[in-house]
């Protein structure tokens, strides 16, 4: 992969349709999520230090709001939506951590959220997602395409 020459340069992964973030994007994301995402600690692992021959720090994102790092990305992205997009709400598909992250971020930003989830999603994930105020549409993994469902709703 090519290296970036200066802030603002964007490289695109071949065929992905996605722009890769640059350092300035990461700094801006940190500003947007400050005060909303928890500042989780870093924990040093002596066992990993010894095994790998260097200092290893672990960031336990299980202590994050919603229990995973997914909230960070969801809040960052929803924070960038314009007013019209916010009024229209957000649609996502997930059976777990991403669903909860989107639902929690949307709730904090007062944006309606609809999550497309498989019918066999664990009940605790369904309840947590609903608890953050999201509506849920269920689908059958064996016979339905979650991406098509989400696009149709959006």
Q: Which of 11, 16, 59, 95 does the annotation list as catalytic? A: 95
Report the alpha-carbon distance of residue 24 to residue 92 in Å, rounded: 26
**91 burial level (CB within 10 Å; 0-12, 13-18, 19+):** buried
Q: Is 70 a catalytic site residue?
A: yes
Q: Is 94 a catalytic site residue?
A: no
| Cα 67 off chain centre by | 12
Beta strands in the chain (DSSP E): 43-44, 57-58, 90-93, 113-118, 135-139
What phi, psi does 81 have (nearest 5°)?
-70, 145
Q: Which of 45, 70, 143, 148 does the annotation list as catalytic? A: 70
Determine the Cα angle at 79 with ends 74 and 75, to 5°: 25
Q: Yes or no: say if 102 and 71 are a contact pair by the CB < 8 Å rule.
A: no
Catalytic residues: 70, 95
């Amino acid at each position: 992969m090519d290296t970036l020459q200066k802030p603002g340069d964007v490289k695109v992964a071949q065929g992905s349709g996605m722009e890769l973030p640059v350092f300035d994007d990461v700094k801006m994301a940190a500003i947007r999520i400050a005060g909303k995402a928890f500042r989780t600690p870093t924990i040093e692992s002596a066992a990993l230090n010894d095994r790998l021959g260097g200092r290893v720090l672990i960031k336990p994102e299980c202590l994050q709001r919603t229990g995973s790092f997914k909230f960070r990305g969801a809040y960052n992205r929803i924070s960038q939506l314009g007013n019209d997009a916010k009024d229209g709400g957000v649609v996502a598909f997930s059976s777990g951590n991403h669903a909860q992250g989107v639902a929690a971020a949307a709730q904090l930003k007062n944006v309606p959220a609809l999550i497309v989830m498989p019918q066999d999603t664990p009940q605790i994930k369904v309840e947590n997602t609903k608890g953050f105020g999201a509506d849920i549409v269920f689908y059958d993994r064996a016979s339905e395409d979650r991406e098509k469902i989400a696009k149709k709703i959006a």
